[in-house]
Amino acid sequence: MKVIKVKNYEELSRTAATIIAGVILSKPDCILGLATGSSPVGTYDQLAAMYEEGILDFSHVKSVNLDEYVGLDGSNDQSYRYFMNTNLFDHVNIDKNKTYVPNGLEEDSDKACADYNEIIRSVGGIDIQLLGIGGNGHIGFNEPGEAFEKETHCVDLTESTIKANARFFESMDEVPKQAYTMGIKNIMAAKKILLVATGSAKADALYKSLYGPITPNVPASILQLHQDVTVVADEDALRLIKEKGLL
Ligand code: F6R
């Protein structure tokens, strides 16, 4: 595992974007595994800037995203499809028909998940998977305690996530209660993994994931077993690791 320490969010975003750009340049028809959340927003900005400058061409790139809320249409501004369109896809020359997120409108969860696994397989697997990390060590919607060997599956959102999301919706009925997420097995099958972490709220999870025991209680700890992981993290996120003299 390679850990790159950066000073701030801008440097983190530039570093992560450069790594992804390297994959696109060496394999123009690569498959990007993408994430939502606040951590990768700056990375997407940087990738869009590289496209604007003529450094990157996304015309042959395909992408698969980690997760999507069940019940949300891609036009809903809380959906992860909407997030990806507005934060990246609308700003580069990627063919949106070749960008995939789980189908949140598919009510048959077995079908939604099997279809998504098939999409990942049919595009030939993921060349580089970008990940954020939750304060509890989750990756995608793989929360502590879930089996490592799962592929795409449906998860029940925790009460606290549902409550936190409630402010974005007009009524409680509209707030998603479930999500479809790639499983740890899909993530571990990616050729390369790039994890970005920023801020002190990630320090504990990052320490446990990188240096603690490998356990489903800290989902990201499984990454210790992957052969090609790069972590880009700022000083706050690396604080505990540094305090323990590990970096
Ligand atoms: C996003 C995802 C989540 C986030 C994680 C960190 O698709 O699956 O695992 O990566 O919750 O979120 P932020 O970056 O908002 O701290």
Which parts of 27-59 fold into alpha helices (H)?
Answer: 41-52
Q: What share of the chain is helix, strand, coil (3-state, %, to 5)?
A: 40, 20, 45
- 199 within ligand 1 shell (Cβ under 6 A): no
Instruction: Tell me the pTM.
Output: 0.97
Task: Compute the distance from residue 38 Cα to the ligand 1 centre, in Å.
Answer: 7
| 33-66 pLDDT tens trace | 999 999 999 999 999 999 999 999 999 999 999 9
Q: Name the active-site residue from 76, 85, 136, 165.
A: 136
Residue 94: per-residue pLDDT: 98
Distance CA 216, CA 145 (A): 5
- What confidence category does residue 247 fall into, taking pLDDT thresholds of 50, 70 and 90? confident
Residue 87, pLDDT above cutoff 90? yes
Two tokens, residue 233: 């993290």
Give distance in angstroms: CA of 35 to centre of ligand 1. 7
| Count of C-beta atoms within a 10 Å radius of residue 128 | 22
Q: With helix as H, strand as E and coil as C, how does 212-246 read?
A: CCCCCCCHHHHHHHCCCEEEEEECCCCHHHHHCCC
152 lines ligand 1 (CB under 6 A): no
Going by pLDDT thresholds of 50, 70 and 90, the confidence category of residue 115 is: very high
Average pLDDT value for the chain:
97
Q: Which of 65, 87, 103, 138 is catalytic?
A: 138
Gap from CA of 132 to ligand 1 centroid (Å)? 5
Phi and psi at residue 240, to the nearest 5°: -65, -40
Per-residue confidence (pLDDT) for residue 158, from 0 to 100: 87
Q: Calculate mean pLDDT across residues 215-241.
A: 98
Tell the residue nearest (CA) to atom 8 of ligand 1.
140
E strands, the chain, in order: 2-6, 31-34, 62-65, 67-69, 99-100, 128-131, 153-156, 178-181, 192-197, 229-234
Cα–Cα distance measured from residue 178 to residue 152, given in angstroms and rounded to the nearest whole number: 13
Amino acid at 19: I
Any ligand 1 atom below 6 A from CB of 34: no
The gap from C-alpha 246 to its chain's centroid, in whole angstroms, comes to 26
Q: Which of 9, 32, 34, 36 to mutate to test the pocket of ligand 1 (most atoms within 8 A of CB)?
A: 36
User: Does residue 66 have its Cβ closer than 6 Å to ligand 1?
Assistant: yes
Token match 């000083």: residue?
Answer: 235
Rounded Cα–Cα distance for residues 178 and 162 (Å): 9
Q: Which amino acid is at 152?
A: T
pLDDT level of residue 8 (50, 70, 90 thresholds): very high
Phi, psi values for residue 69, rounded to 5°: -70, 145
Average pLDDT over residues 117-145: 96
If residue 171 lies in a helix (H) or strand (E), which one and from where to where? none
132 CA closest ligand 1 atom index: 10
23 in contact with ligand 1, CB cutoff 6 A: no
- Nearest-10 crossing angle of helices 80-87, 41-52: 40
Our answer to whether residue 153 is catalytic in this structure is: no
Pocket flag, ligand 1, residue 38 (CB < 6 Å): yes
Residue 68 CA to ligand 1 center (angstroms) comes to 12
Quick one: pLDDT band at residue 14, thresholds 50, 70, 90? very high
Is 136 marked active-site? yes
Q: What is the pLDDT of residues 157-210, one digit of tens each?
A: 988 889 888 999 999 999 999 999 999 999 999 999 999 999 999 999 999 999
Q: What's the pLDDT score for residue 133?
A: 97
Q: How far is the CA of 219 from the centre of ligand 1 (A)?
A: 13
pLDDT of residue 188: 98
> Average pLDDT in the 11-37 region?
98
